[in-house]
Amino acid sequence: MSRKKAGSTGLRSAQQSETPLGLKQLADYLGFAPATVSLVLNGSAVADTISTETKKLIRDAAKKFNYRPNFFARCLRTKRSFTIGVMVSEVSEGYNATVLSGIEDHLLQEGYFYFVASHRFKQDLIDEYPQLFLHRSVDGLIVVNTPWHLDLPVPVVTVSSHHTVKGVTSIVLDHYRAAEVALRHLVDLGHRKIAFIKGQAFVPDTDVRWNSILGAAAQMELSIDEKLVLQIADNSPTPQPGYVLTQKLLASGEKFTALFAFNDISAMGAIRALHEAGLRVPEDISVVGFDDIESAAYQSPGLTTVHQPLRKMGRMAAETVLRCIMRPTEKSDASPKITVEAELIVRGTTAVARQHAARRKNVPSRSAESRIASD
Amino acid sequence: MSRKKAGSTGLRSAQQSETPLGLKQLADYLGFAPATVSLVLNGSAVADTISTETKKLIRDAAKKFNYRPNFFARCLRTKRSFTIGVMVSEVSEGYNATVLSGIEDHLLQEGYFYFVASHRFKQDLIDEYPQLFLHRSVDGLIVVNTPWHLDLPVPVVTVSSHHTVKGVTSIVLDHYRAAEVALRHLVDLGHRKIAFIKGQAFVPDTDVRWNSILGAAAQMELSIDEKLVLQIADNSPTPQPGYVLTQKLLASGEKFTALFAFNDISAMGAIRALHEAGLRVPEDISVVGFDDIESAAYQSPGLTTVHQPLRKMGRMAAETVLRCIMRPTEKSDASPKITVEAELIVRGTTAVARQHAARRKNVPSRSAESRIASD
DNA sequence: AATCGAATCTATATCGATTTAGTAAAACAG
DNA sequence: CTGTTTTACTAAATCGATATAGATTCGATT
């Protein structure tokens, strides 16, 4: 327990005292006017004519006293807050949490902070939060996985909101390719009778993804049996709806050899229902999830799923919104849609279809088993 | 696809125009001085003598024009930002994400926003972020799962940081009871040779939890074999370290019938390693996790684990920090430590110890299987 | 000697609220 | 009719910066 004495801990300025001194004090100390100090410290163009000596003096003193301009005073003048509002459906849920992590990476690195608000798909909150953000003078907004129609006076970037709104850039997955690669995998394994769990009607990805699945299936001449198509209705970010739906499907007696879930969460619910019905995954039924949230890799066996580069999508959203803030004029220039690619992560929940499997045990390779996509 | 026309979407005030009018304009419109308007709108004591009629006039106009005082101007004067800084190790990780969700619930409800910063246990960030928060004039700080020694000029509440710092309130789990209930469960199932995975040295919970385990074990006369005790070293919020550690343990040839992991994440890694070694969970080895993060319930079978009321802990942290902000004087009054209780959630990864099990199949009941604690 | 133009810095208005000290008029008391 | 309260507001300072327009000095030019 040999803690160094306070002051020697690398914080050079012992002036780390209670007084967060202001521009005025600093100027007085230096014998210059506040304006001069401000000009120099902000590297303003007007400061070009100020003598090098003076500049050095000012900068040194600023460093010595660890001067930081009052944040609010500065915001009040410059009308910039270096803060971004982020609206998600629920912070604690894997999809949003990962996107958020990507957003944070970039924003903090660039000196921005962000507010988070979770609406849990309540319409009144979806309407209210953007106003609250604006009232806090955020410089921009990132909207994740949320229906969006507004045209606000600040840059807005959406992630997985499939609406074309004037002036807002949206970051979306190439859902068609995603559907294609997942279905191709199942079809290659011999699956023909595939069950589907669709997302909730109010989740923006739902329609786009389903249409992509329909398109891809048509392309590869795979027929989709309507009786094997289920849709989640609950507004619950848990596996419960997928669990219940799968139980119903099993009770209906319809035959299927594979299940393609709307997301990993519902896939996990489905797997539990299958297990409880005495079916093995993947030996009896193959299951494919979507998103590749962190816990998908944590399952035993690991969940085969369509990886969305969530962290990257978050980072791109942050990059884009900051870019728009920097040059607010050329709004039209910004391509209104940025598409990222999905990737199929084959882990342990898919195998050759039962009727085709020559009774051989399908042991997924260890490396595939524990594979974790690194974005 | 019958989208309503814009404008009819429930935004009542057509005054939702570009001009976020200021106090001055409102005062001019009313024919009063800005001071009067401000006084009335803030319900200041001085406004007591202002005629009821005038008050009504002012309030009505404010409502009509949807007047909102400029946030920064107000902060500049009042020195309050209605913003809390939250420091976590990693937003996207289940433990933090759930605590965060609880924090958010309460803060937004009370009209506060919050900044999040993830330090990923990098010491320089742990040092830097609090300063950045202070520079943004946060009204308080919540520090989650992070070593903490600072005494800042604003209220600080920690969650699971086991250090007693002057003036900071900490919210902690009753680790002793947690250890006791988990060990009791295993012992009751006949387990005597129990392996342990300890957390990383830099995680605050690690020592406290381990000491609690030692204490509880001594109490119930359970001996702990040092050769069965492993410790995570990696700074990786994934199951990987638990996986690798368990592989090593298995390779060592030491016999054990149960494993008590530091957290759910490492338990999942351990389970994978056990599976890959051809061992069944829980028939051959029982596994108990810790935390009860969301994905613990999503496993098949569900993970038996010690539930921490994470959401509640987050909410309490938020409540506490706001309470301290409200009455900044009586710092001493605030009890410096708030303890919450753990709860064992028995799901599907624990069963009667092998040598004691009379070859009977241990099928956990369905309800236990899918049980999800609601905090 | 008067003028000009750099080179250096400063005075002051401004951002948009809050808040203290004070004023004008009306009501009341003696 | 004068003096004191009360009632009902308002003027102006303040928070702590930024930014524009201008002031001062000084050597050089014509």
Confidence of residue A24 (pLDDT cuts 50, 70, 90): very high
A275/B301 CB distance under 8 A: yes
For A11, phi then psi, to 5°, come to -80, 95
Residue B367: is its pLDDT beyond 50?
no
3-state secondary structure string, B120-189?
CCCHHHHHHHHHHHHHCCCCEEEEECCCCCCCCCCCEEEECCCCCCCCCEEEEECHHHHHHHHHHHHHHC
Whether B35 CB is under 7 Å from strand C: yes
Separation in Å, CA of A94 to nearest CA in chain B: 7
Residue A334: is its pLDDT beyond 70?
no
User: Is the pTM higher than 0.75?
Assistant: yes
pLDDT value of position A243: 95
Q: How far is CA B136 from CA A113, A355, B1, B282, in A?
A: 9, 63, 45, 51
pLDDT value of position A163: 87
Residue pair B254/B188 in contact by the 8 Å Cβ criterion: no
pLDDT in tens, A255-273: 999 999 999 999 999 999 9
**B77/B70 Cα distance (integer angstroms):** 11
Best to test chain A binding among B68, B91, B134 (most A CBs inside 10 Å): B91
pLDDT in tens, B145-193: 999 999 999 999 999 998 888 889 999 999 999 999 999 999 999 999 9
Q: Containing H/E element for B110? A: none
Q: Which residues are bridge partners to A307 per DSSP?
A: A291, A343
Per-residue pLDDT, averaged over A355-360, amounts to 45
Q: Tell me the one-letter amino acid at A185.
A: H
pLDDT value of position B11: 34
pLDDT in tens, A84-99: 999 999 999 999 999 9
Residue A374: is its pLDDT beyond 50?
yes
Positive or negative torsion for Cα A245, A247, A249, A255: positive
Confidence of residue A294 (pLDDT cuts 50, 70, 90): confident
Residue B274, token pair as written in the block? 């056990």
Confidence of residue A368 (pLDDT cuts 50, 70, 90): very low
Residue pair B9/B50 in contact by the 8 Å Cβ criterion: no
pLDDT value of position A2: 34
Q: Which residues are bridge partners to A118 per DSSP?
A: A88
pLDDT value of position A12: 35
Residue pair A287/A303 in contact by the 8 Å Cβ criterion: yes
Residue B67: is its pLDDT beyond 90?
yes
**B328/B332 Cα distance (integer angstroms):** 10
Better-scored residue on pLDDT, B296 or A370: B296
Q: Tell me the one-letter amino acid at A79.
A: K
B76/A81 CB distance under 8 A: no
pLDDT in tens, A178-236: 999 999 999 999 999 999 999 999 999 999 999 999 999 999 999 999 999 999 999 99
B108/A114 CB distance under 8 A: no
Residue B218: is its pLDDT beyond 90?
yes
Whether B42 CB is under 7 Å from strand D: no
Give every strand in the sheet of B304-307, ordered side by side. B229-231, B194-198, B258-260, B286-291, B304-307, B343-345
Q: How many CB atoms lie within 10 A of CB A2?
A: 3
pLDDT value of position B200: 97
Confidence of residue B332 (pLDDT cuts 50, 70, 90): low
Does residue A71 come out as left (phi exceeding 0), alpha (psi in the -120 to 50 range) or beta?
Answer: alpha
Task: Report the candidate in A239, A291, A231, A294 with the shortest Cα–Cα distance to residue A269.
Answer: A239
For B33-69, b/e burial (b = at least 16 CB within 10 A) is: eeebbbbbbeeeeebeeeeeeebebbeebbeebebeb
pLDDT value of position A167: 86
Residue B94, token pair as written in the block? 């289940």
Q: In the complex, which nucleotide's C1' lies nearest to the CA atom of residue A21?
A: D16
A114/B117 CB distance under 8 A: no
pLDDT value of position A329: 61
Q: Calculate the average pLDDT of chain B.
A: 89
